[in-house]
Amino acid sequence: MLATKTPLAVDLPLGSNTIVVTDLVKRYKGAELNAVDGISFSVREGELFALLGPNGAGKTTTISILTTTLVPTSGVALIGGHDLARDPSGVRRAVGIIFQKPSLDLNLTAEENVRLHAILYGLFPYRPFFPLMPVAYRDRVRELSAILGIEREMFKPMKTFSGGMKRKLEIVRSLMHRPRVLFLDEPTAGLDAPSRRALWDYLREVRAETRATVFLTTHYLDEAEDADRICILDKGKIVAEGTPAGVKRDLTHEYLVVDAADRDALRLELAGRGIAHRETPLFEIPLDGVGAHAILRSIDTPLTTVRTVAPSLEDAYIKVLAHS
Amino acid sequence: MIAAGELHSIAALAQRDLTKLLRDRARLITTIIFPFIFIGALGGTLSANFGRAPGFDFLTLTFTGVYAQTLFQSTAMGMISLVIDRENDFSQELFIAPVSRYTIIAGRILGETLVALPQALAIIAFGLVIGIPISPGQLAALIGTGLVVAFFGGAFGVLVLAFLNNQRAANQVFPFIFLPQFFLAGVFAPIQVLPWYLEIASRIAPLRYAVDFVRGVFYAGSPDYQHVVLEDPATNFAIIAPAFVICLVVGTFFFVRSERNR
């Protein structure tokens, strides 16, 4: 059970573009180079879209512009049908964001943080104390605290919360106003492995129930493997985009690794049969449309090692950055 | 007209500042003690030496001066919390909210005014303890004018902060802005007669109008009025009101611009 059980208010048909970015440029004051250098991309309704790139690639700059906290130097962006320049308030209403650095007031309780957010977004009227808040709000907070397992901590100062718990609370808070697009700027940075896994389990649940579009930036390539589409940014420019499988296919190749006790015989046989390969020192045979089974059947030399290698997104990522 | 949602947001933001003060006992105690030192030590010393020699009671003059100065300075310096929020990354949460930027700043000014209120009440209580005669009418006047002065101080604080990047800069700049005003505004001593250059500086100092406004209302109908008050309260208010609006609008504009136009 999730906080946002009601489907989001969706004006655009599923599959249409909910984020459209055209020629976006950002040059910080005094900088000689553009932090974001004329990027264009679109994100479809309900997609999990991952923006990848090394430190300083322009990921946070892009996300800051798309969430109205930073003014672009030039370019156009439409978020949920709202023009970033002309209707920033509409954009703010349409998006939820988890910033790279937690933006919780640690002097307040978890509930007070959630309440401030709910009032700022016009979801509930201001009341000075939790018991005076409308029943709907109190029910929602109880529901959220049950999901997070923090029924007792909900009314204690945030200082006692772990990093993972703070992140979860931020996600819960950002979903209070049922945003159409959820921006996550390196949401798992600084979390330990169990917290990362728990957070992603929770995010999958959120996506399944809310159908919100998720725009993610991350350093962890395994997190982007689940994305519907990815976009790799380097030095402010897009250097690759598409589905994770597509990007991998375009940039890397699946290959067969074999070895034999009699390496000279194997080398001769591969050359004789015209099978392209390279020695690293094992024999790597690219599988460009050729089945591993067919290649293995054609080799007579007794093999000591046989395995296929499917490159990860990380391999593709490193390759594309090396090229750029 | 301000939408109801914006008013709810202002109230929620203001409560946040008050909650933080009430949870920080050390800050609560020091903010209340500091004005006591001014009135008790400085005012007491001056009063003991001059008494009513200048034609009015020195202790009451210092009391009203410190009262106005404390409220003005407390809210102005309280606005440093805007920069602290920026440094703690909390301002992101505020500035992505779909409310007016003026609502956010107004909420903070109201919050810091509420934070200054316990100080105001403590000063009044201290004034009564040390024997300053305060009638019920004057008590109401102190609270009413105190609120005006606190709002004015908050807006002035936003204007100053709009041009400062971090807390360290703010902590260095604010004393430079306030210390001269203590004297130019006549917080501790009357400024009816000043050399021309100090007169010009005094008229530029916003605190002058805040202090004189409080005194103008407090001393109304008193024989000391003519010795202590510079301008009538209506004149001071006519200066404070537009100055408040200008500080708020210009300060908010530049503060938000410094947040977004990096």
Q: Which residue among A68, A90, A125 places its CB closest to the CB of B8?
A: A125
The ipTM assigned to this model is 0.84
Determine the Cα–Cα distance for residues B232 and A82; give it in Å rounded to an integer. 51
More confident residue, B141 or B24: B141
Residues of B with CB under 8 A from a CB of A: 4-5, 7-9, 11-13, 15-16, 19-20, 23-24, 88-99, 259-262
Res. B146 pLDDT band, cuts 50 70 90:
very high
> For A194-207, what is each residue's pLDDT tens digit?
778 877 888 888 78
Nearby residues of A220 by Cβ (< 8 Å), 6 or more positions away: A188, A196
More confident residue, A206 or B252: B252
**Residues from chain B contacting residue A89 (CB–CB below 8 Å):** 98
- Interface A:B, Cβ pairs < 8 A: 85
- Flag whether pLDDT at B35 surpasses 90: no
CB contact under 8 A, B261 and A71: yes
Q: Which residue among A93, A103, A112 places its CB closest to the CB of B98?
A: A93
- Flag whether pLDDT at B242 surpasses 90: yes
Predicted confidence at residue A206, as pLDDT, reads: 79
CB contact under 8 A, B89 and A102: yes
Task: Of B106-110, B135-139, B185-189, B214-218, give the lowest mean pLDDT range.
Answer: B185-189
Predicted confidence at residue A168, as pLDDT, reads: 80
- Mean local confidence (pLDDT), B138-161: 93
Q: What residues of chain A score a pLDDT lower than 50?
A: 1-12, 14
Q: Which long-range contacts (CB under 8 A, 24 or more apart) does A79-85 make?
A: A79/A18, A79/A19, A79/A181, A80/A11, A80/A12, A80/A18, A80/A19, A80/A180, A80/A181, A81/A11, A81/A12, A81/A18
- Flag whether pLDDT at B59 surpasses 50: yes
Q: What is the mean pLDDT of chain B?
A: 86
Res. B133 pLDDT band, cuts 50 70 90:
confident
Pairing verdict, β A36-44 and A95-98: unpaired
> For B68-109, what is each residue's pLDDT tens digit?
999 999 899 889 888 888 888 888 888 889 888 899 999 999
Q: How many residues are present in chain A?
A: 324
**Residues from chain A contacting residue B98 (CB–CB below 8 Å):** 89-90, 92-93, 120-122
Q: Which of A84, A78, A73 is nearest to A37 (CA)?
A: A73
Task: Of A107-116, A259-268, B24-33, B128-137, give the lowest mean pLDDT range.
Answer: B24-33
Distance from CA of B8 to the nearest CA of A (A): 5
Q: By the CB < 8 Å criterion, does A248 face chain B?
A: no
Predicted confidence at residue B42, as pLDDT, reads: 65
Predicted confidence at residue B139, as pLDDT, reads: 92
Q: Which residue does chain A place closest to B11, by CA atoms?
A: A126
**Residues from chain A contacting residue B96 (CB–CB below 8 Å):** 67-69, 92, 95, 97
